[in-house]
Structures are given as C-alpha cells and as structure tokens.
C-alpha cells in the first residue's frame, strides 16, 4: 500500500455511513423512561388540545362587548352568576350583562368569549366592576389552539427531551414507540496502551479513547459495549472484531495511529467484510476507516483523542442518526469569528473553538492533546474549498 | 391575602434557592457510569501527561539541526539506526547524522528533538533522505505538554461528559468522586388534571408537568420521583408533600395556577416549614413559590407548562447546581436579535426564541401552550430595567 491515503470528501464519507447503516427496530417504552430515545413514528393529537376554551388568568368570564369602553372612571358593571370550578364545565351559559368568576385554567362557559383579569375588577356583592375592556378571545386559550385533532405534535425521528415528554403526556401517551438503542462495540488498539487504572511504564500511555467513545455513544442515546485494549497484532485484532460484531450493531475501533497499524485495522475489517473508505479529507481525522464486518458498520477512528472526537461527531453522528432514524439535528448556532483560522484548500478542517464575548475563537493545539478538547465549546468547519476563515466572518458553531 | 403578589427580582430568588440548598454528599463511582454526574473534587494529573515526548507523525526521529536547509533538490542524508516500537522506549540515543524510524505515538529517543514526516523522506537501504527541514520540537508532543504533574485536569463541580471521561482516563481515574444525585419529588396539583393515559372528561386536561419536570430533572443529572396528581384540597396536598419531603431532597410542586390554589400551596408549605418567596418578577412564571418543608427546598411551580419550564431553568437550575456543587454552567451562546421584543419595565422577561439564519427570533405564544415551547431552541432574557429589546441587539441565548 502507498504511504498516501486515497482521501474522500466528508460528504462522501457521510453518504457511505448512511448507506451502510442498518435501521434499528422499534419498541414501545414508558414515556418516563424515554428521555434521549428517538421517536419511531409521528405522534398525533388524539383530539383537540386543549379540549375546551380555557382562561389563562384568574378573573371573570365575560362577553367582550359588555366591557367595551370600560375604564377606571366608568367601569362596566356585570352581575356575577357564580364560580367556575376547576375541572368542571359550567352548567349554564353566561348571558349579556352577566359574568362568572373563573380561575386560571377553568373552562370558559358557553356565551362568554373572553376573561377579564381580577386585577382590573372589583366585586361588590353580586355586582362586579370591570375597569378595563377586553377583546373577544382575550386571556383565553381557544379549544384546539395548542394542537388540532390529528395534528402532529412530534414527528418521527425526534430525540425525546423534557419538553417532548410534556407534549407526549398532553397528547395522551404514557407509552411511546422508539428506536431500539443500537449497541456500539468499542475497541481500543495499541501496544502502547494501558488501562486507566494502570501506571504507564516507559513509552506507555493510558487509554483515553475507550471512555471518550463510551461517553459519546451514551450522549447519542446508544449503548456502549467496551471491549478494552487489544494488542496490535492480527490475531488479537481479528478475534476482538469478530467478537464485537457478533454482539453489537456497530463497532468503533480506535487506535491504529501509525500507518502500519492502520493498514492492519483495514486488513482485519476486510477479512470480515469490506473496507469502503480509508482516508477522509478531514483534519484532524484523515486516517479514518469506514467499512463493514459481518454486514455491520465498522469505523476505524484515529488514535489521537481530539481527532477521534472530531470524527465521532462528523461521521459517527450521521451513522447513529441513520441507524435510529433520528432527524438530522446537528446542534449548530450562528456566531462570528474573532480571529482568523488558516486552513489548507481541499481539506475540510474541523477547528475546536470556544466562545468569548460575542465571538468564537479557535482553540489551536495538537490533536494528541486532551486539554484543548476540554477547553473548547464546539467546533467550526472550514469548508474544503476555503484556504481559511477571516475575523468577522459568520460561522456555524457545532456544539459538543 | 392580597390578590397582588409581593414579587422579588430573579436575582433575589436565585440567592434564596442557593441559600436553602442542602449540599449533597459525595460518592465514588466507576468513570464508565459517571456521565452527567458532578465532580466532587479537583482531579489532578498523577504525573506528567504524556510521560514522554511522543511523535505525532509517522516518520523519522531526528536532530532538527541535521535537517537545516534540506530541500527536494538537496535533501539531508541521515543513517537510519533502527525502528522505534510502540509502547517501548528506544534502547540507544540518536546521534548526529542518525535518524530512527518512529510511528505516530512512539517515544522520541534521547538525542532526537523532532520528527520528520515520512511523506517528505525516502529510505534507500539504511540511508534516509529528508527533503524538508524540521524545527526543534516539530511534530512532537513534549513530555507534560498536555498536563504537568499535579495540574488540575478537571475542577470540582465539572459536569462529566464524554470529553471529561477521556481526560479522567488519561489522568489515571477509573473511579471518580461525584455528588450523590439528589432525589427530586414531583407533585402535580389540580382538580382538572388527569394522567397521560386517561381520556379527559369535560373541563379536564392531561397532566403534562409531571413528565416535563421529570425530564428536566433527568437532564440536570438528578433523580425524579413522581408522586402523580394530587387534588386541590388541603389534606391531600399536605399528605403528598409530607410524603415527598420524607423521601426526597427537594420537592417540585406544580400547579396551583389560580390564586386560591397558589395560596393553598403556600399554606401547605408553611405548615411544614416556611414560605420565603411568593411571587418573582419573571414572566412567564410570576406566581412561583420558594420555601422549605422539613428543611428541604420546595419550589411551587406555575401550572402552565411553558411557565413551569422557564422557572425550572431560571430557578431550578441554580438550586440543583447549589445542591450538587456544579459550576455555574448556564449554557448561553451569543446571538443577534432579528425582531423586536416588547417587555414591561421592572419584570425580567424570559422570551422563548428560535434560531433563524444568523439571528434569533422570538417565539411568541401564551404560556399555556406547549407547541411554542417545542418550537423554541432556548430563551432570551429581557432585563428588568429594559422596556424591550431592539432588532440587531446582541443577546445571550440560554439553550434548552
């Protein structure tokens, strides 16, 4: 093999991982346990939400036209015909010249078309003075105003968060159909690696990538299965990969940072399947391998933690999204660059950045360093066609 | 009681919740299970990281001055005296005129001070032509360059994410001291409420807040304990609150959207402790109650889901952070407002916003509606002293 990799653009790598992704099955789980899971189908409102017009204030249900022209000096005077109780519809309608006491969330009685706030009213026996006019619909949520019957409250592919959980409950779901979370096998390779608990000998380093990948997989709502450290020899690597693809849906192999080791990774993947890509025009992360083993996606990540993390976000995220059916949800926010970022044309640079004041600044540092990764808030992409970005340019920040 | 609440500024409410917070104990857990937990003490590097100078490229370990002036036309010629193996230190130093093959991550041998990339070299038998000069330190991570011995790799109060997990492993931690996650009791009150699984009768609505609060609590790394729906009567509410404070560290009571119900909530809290705040100058969310029961913090949230969610973020987040010792980590990003936001002076407005292009736009909507909450990406604060924000103003977006 050549010492030069045949690199493909990031867009091509993303296309390939989407193609090799195996769509996860769905299962039904309690909403209480569904946070972070991916919705398997659209959820529709089973009826109008809310099912009746509700007051959003404490006050009086009124016919708006009865309050026309009301003021401090010349209040409208209405006869109060009782109280609305929470959770109970009114027995009788409100007629012209009447009002009904209504608590926040109470059912607007028939006849009434608005709610006057208690702060602008005064009760004197059965008579109520309304000191400020209300327009029809004022201080009221209409029947079906939140969602019409059959309206999609959450589309398939939504990642369920606290807000979604609230909306699901409102739509009558206490159980929900979600993608089965894929199991991701994680293998770290390298003769120089020792576990986190060991004291490294001369020339050895602790394996950071197992936990880095594991955390990433959890953040994506998938299940990490850690296989630990495997020595850089063909037999050990083949045994570990065969074991992992048998038990998992996807395998992340990290390490193989030198050319010889990368080639061994690629050869081992090819033994159980196919190497589709070996080299991506991404920096850091160029020596990434994409392939399949036993028809399951395998990603060979670079050994440097910061490189591995960039590739996890750039390539691992779309692979997992295609597996679970998650809607593309690259969490980017617009910002302005506070300092120039040099780059090489023809390569998509992923530059770690941190927010400072109103701008983002690049966090430069070798991809072997962890501290620059920890200090960054996310990354900015310098497109392959650009030789760099200038201060003052608008950029999209991909948040970690 | 008056129909008007005595409101306090948001800053005062935050001060009070920090004061009543009960600091959680610490426990030691495997790093593999620590994602989302809050670090209980500083983690220091047990030695220099890395423990030796490493090459970041495949190539040749050289003495930089031996490559001075090297070019395509006039390469430096060095004698290769062997290969560095991964995970093993070199037995002998590199002397002037010599080089050593080194893989990425290999130990830089004594004598050498840089690595020349294989892409700019050519081996001819034992001789290696170096076609590009390297500077001292080039393509090398120095010993201790990532972290010096004793350097703080992660400070106490850090919320552990994928990157932290990698760094902890590099620092020799496979177990880590974290705050015990607080248990948060969640009670929804309201005679109009039915569970998510029920079909609402006339005047009834499904309880969204139990799941909204539950998801929020999980997102904050705490443990939700759901007590379901309690009817708006003093005996039921008192029994539920007594039960919840006995089992939990903090209680979120939601509902009590009408004045009568709010007053009942406040009276019930007072029965077991003290009401410290009843009314915050925040919109939405004004009728929030802050108190203690059995010396544990109790927050009375507004019944409208969007209001409750704003208060959870504005008041619940600092309460939980003070409980677990989490570093303030309001996740805000700078942006520019694309449309004006009117506001009332003297009230801190929390306006839901969504990103559009380079700007954020307000998502207006009644606080009783869920769809505006789902459509928003976060919120922007209009300070109490301002009557609104203008298009083009720089704002901080608090992301959900």
- Report the C-alpha gap between A293 and A181 in whole angstroms: 20
* CB hemisphere CA count around A232 (13 angstroms): 23
Using the predicted structure, report yes or no on whether residue B110 has a pLDDT greater than 50. Answer: yes
Q: What is the pLDDT of residues A229-260, one digit of tens each?
A: 999 899 999 999 999 999 999 999 998 767 78
A52: tokens are 């009746």
- The ipTM (two decimal places) reads 0.91
- Taking an 8 Å cut-off on Cβ atoms, the answer to whether A103 and B197 are in contact is no
Which residues of chain B neighbour A104 with C-beta distances below 8 Å? 257-259, 303-304
What pLDDT is attached to residue B1? Answer: 40
Q: Tell me the CA distances in angstroms from B210 to A45, A232, A382, B195, B301, one per residue in order.
A: 19, 51, 44, 9, 11
Which chain B residue has the Cα nearest residue A257? B104
CB contact under 8 A, A211 and B32: yes
**Chain B residues whose beta carbon lies within 8 Å of the beta carbon of residue A303:** 104-105
Residue A145 DSSP SS3: coil
CATH topology of domain B10-23+181-324: Molybdenum Cofactor Biosythetic Enzyme; Chain A (3.40.980)
Alpha-helix runs per DSSP H in chain A: 10-20, 162-170, 209-219, 234-247, 259-272, 305-311, 317-324, 371-375
Nearest partner of A108 among A151, A60, A76, A156, judged by Cα:
A60
Average predicted confidence (pLDDT) for chain A:
93
Q: What are phi and psi of B218, to 5 degrees?
A: -65, -40
Nearest to B20 by CA among B301, B207, B268, B295: B295
- Residue partners of A313: CB distance under 8 A and separation at least 6: A216, A350, A379, A398, A400
Chain region(s) in chain B for CATH 3.90.105.10? 27-44+151-179
The DSSP call for residue A2 is -
> How many whole angstroms separate alpha carbon B237 and alpha carbon B226?
14
Residues of A in contact with B203 (CB under 8 A): 52, 86-89, 106-107
Rounded CA separation A286/A259 (Å)? 12
Q: Whole-angstrom Cα distance, residue B276 to residue A229?
A: 55
CA atoms B308, B311, B316, B317: torsion sign? positive
Instruction: Tally A–B CB contacts below 8 A.
Output: 328
Contact B32 A226 (CB under 8 A): yes
Nearest to B368 among A118, A141, A172 (CB): A141
Residue A1 pLDDT greater than 50, yes or no: no
Q: Which of A31, A209, A214 sits opposite B211 (nearest CB)?
A: A31
Provide the CATH number for the domain formed by A55-141 in this structure: 2.170.190.11
**CATH class of the domain comprising B27-44+151-179:** alpha beta
**Contact indicator for B282, B320 with CB cutoff of 8 Å:** no
For an interface test with A, give the residue of B169, B202, B227 to mutate (most A CBs within 10 A). B169
B107–A259 CB contact, under 8 Å: no
Query: Hey, are the CB atoms on B86 and A54 less than 8 Å from each other?
Result: no
Cα of first residue to Cα of last residue in chain B, in angstroms, is: 35
Identify the burial level of A110 via C-beta atoms within 10 angstroms of its C-beta, where 0-12 means exposed, 13-18 middle and 19 or more buried: middle
Predicted pLDDT of residue A332? 82
For residues B209 and A55, give the distance between their C-alpha atoms in angstroms, rounded to a whole number: 18
Q: Which residue has the higher pLDDT, B263 or B171?
A: B171
What are A167-203's pLDDT values in tens digits?
A: 999 999 999 999 999 999 999 999 999 999 999 999 9
Domain with CATH 2.170.190.11 in chain A: 55-141
The superfamily (CATH) of domain B332-399 is MoeA, C-terminal, domain IV (2.40.340.10)
Q: What is the pLDDT of residue B358?
A: 82
Across the interface, whether the CB atoms of B165 and A192 are under 8 A apart is answered: no
The phi and psi torsions of B343 (rounded to 5 degrees) equal: -155, 165
Residue range(s) of every CATH 2.40.340.10 domain in chain B: 332-399
**Over pLDDT 90: what percentage of chain B?**
80
Q: Which of A332, A333, A328, A351 is nearest to A341 (CA)?
A: A351
Report pLDDT for B329.
64
B257 pLDDT tier (thresholds 50, 70, 90):
low
pLDDT at B280 over 50: yes
Give the C-alpha separation, A256 to A288, whole Å.
10
Supply the DSSP symbol for A67.
G
Residue B389 scores a pLDDT above 80: yes
Asked if B71 and B131 touch (Cβ cutoff 8 Å), the reply is: yes
A208, B161 Cβ separation under 8 angstroms: no
- Nearest-CB residue to A105 (from B31, B87, B303): B303
Distance from CA of A258 to the nearest CA of B (A): 5
pLDDT digits (tens, 9 = 90+) for A130-152: 999 999 999 999 999 999 999 99
What distance in Å separates the CA atoms of residue B307 and residue B286, rounded to the nearest whole number? 9
Question: Which ranges in chain A are annotated with CATH 3.40.980.10?
Answer: 10-24+181-324
Q: Tell me the CA distances in angstroms from A180 to A28, A31, A183, one per residue in order.
A: 9, 14, 9
DSSP string covering A103-114, please?
-TTPBPPTT--E
Tokens 């509700």 correspond to: A54
Tens digit of each residue's pLDDT (9 = 90 or more) over A81-115? 999 999 999 889 999 999 999 998 999 999 999 99
What does each C-alpha distance from A250 to A233, A300, A302, A314, B190 come to in angstroms?
Answer: 22, 11, 17, 16, 47
d(CA B325, CA B40): 7
What's the confidence (pLDDT) of residue A357?
83
Taking CB atoms and an 8 Å limit, are B258 and A202 in contact across chains?
Answer: no
pLDDT at residue B243, rounded to an integer: 97
Q: Does domain A27-49+155-179 have CATH number 3.40.1190.10?
A: no
> Out of 3.40.1030.10, 3.90.1150.10, 2.30.140.10, 3.40.980.10, which CATH number does the structure's domain A10-24+181-324 have?
3.40.980.10
Residues in chain A: 400
Across all residues in chain B, what is the average pLDDT? 93
As a whole number of angstroms, the distance between CA B259 and CA A187 comes to: 59
pLDDT in the model for residue A4: 57
The matching CATH number, chosen from 2.60.40.1180, 1.10.3720.10, 2.30.30.190, 2.170.190.11, for B54-141 is: 2.170.190.11
């Amino acid at each position: 093999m050549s010492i030069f990799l045949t690199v493909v653009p990031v867009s091509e790598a993303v296309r390939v991982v989407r193609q090799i992704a195996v769509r996860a099955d769905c299962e039904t789980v309690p909403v209480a346990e569904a946070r972070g899971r991916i919705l398997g189908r659209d959820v529709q409102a089973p009826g109008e939400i809310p099912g009746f017009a509700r007051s959003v204030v404490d006050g009086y249900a009124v016919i708006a036209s009865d309050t026309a022209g009301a003021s401090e000096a010349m209040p409208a005077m209405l006869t109060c015909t009782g109280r609305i109780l929470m959770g109970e519809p009114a027995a009788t309608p409100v007629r012209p010249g009447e009002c009904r006491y209504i608590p926040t969330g109470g059912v607007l009685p028939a006849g009434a078309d608005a709610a006057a706030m208690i702060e602008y009213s005064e009760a004197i026996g059965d008579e109520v003075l309304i000191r400020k006019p209300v327009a029809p619909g004022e201080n009221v949520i209409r029947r079906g105003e939140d969602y019409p019957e059959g309206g999609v409250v959450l589309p398939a592919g939504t990642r369920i968060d606290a807000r979604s959980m609230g909306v699901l409950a409102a739509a009558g779901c206490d159980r929900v159909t979600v993608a089965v979370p894929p199991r991701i096998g994680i293998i770290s390779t390298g003769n120089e690696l020792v576990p986190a608990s060991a004291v490294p000998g001369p020339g050895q380093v602790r394996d950071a990538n197992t936990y880095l990948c594991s955390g990433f997989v959890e953040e994506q709502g998938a299940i990490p299965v850690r296989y630990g450290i495997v020595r850089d020899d063909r037999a050990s690597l083949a045994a570990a990969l065969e074991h992992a693809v048998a038990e998992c849906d996807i395998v992340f192999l990290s390490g193989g940072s030198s050319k010889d080791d990368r080639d061994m990774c690629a050869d081992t993947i090819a033994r159980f399947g196919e190497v589709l890509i070996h080299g991506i025009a991404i920096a850091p992360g160029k020596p990434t391998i994409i392939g399949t083993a036993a028809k399951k996606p395998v990603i060979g990540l670079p050994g440097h933690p910061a490189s591995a993390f960039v590739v996890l976000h750039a390539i691992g995220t779309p692979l997992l999204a295609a597996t679970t059916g998650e809607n593309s949800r690259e969490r980017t926010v617009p910002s302005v660059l506070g300092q120039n970022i040099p780059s090489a044309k023809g390569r998509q640079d992923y530059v770690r950045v941190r927010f400072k004041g109103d701008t983002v600044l690049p966090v430069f540092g070798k991809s072997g360093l962890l501290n620059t990764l920890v200090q960054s808030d996310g990354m900015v992409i310098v497109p392959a066609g650009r030789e760099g970005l200038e201060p003052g340019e608008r950029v999209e920040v991909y948040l970690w």
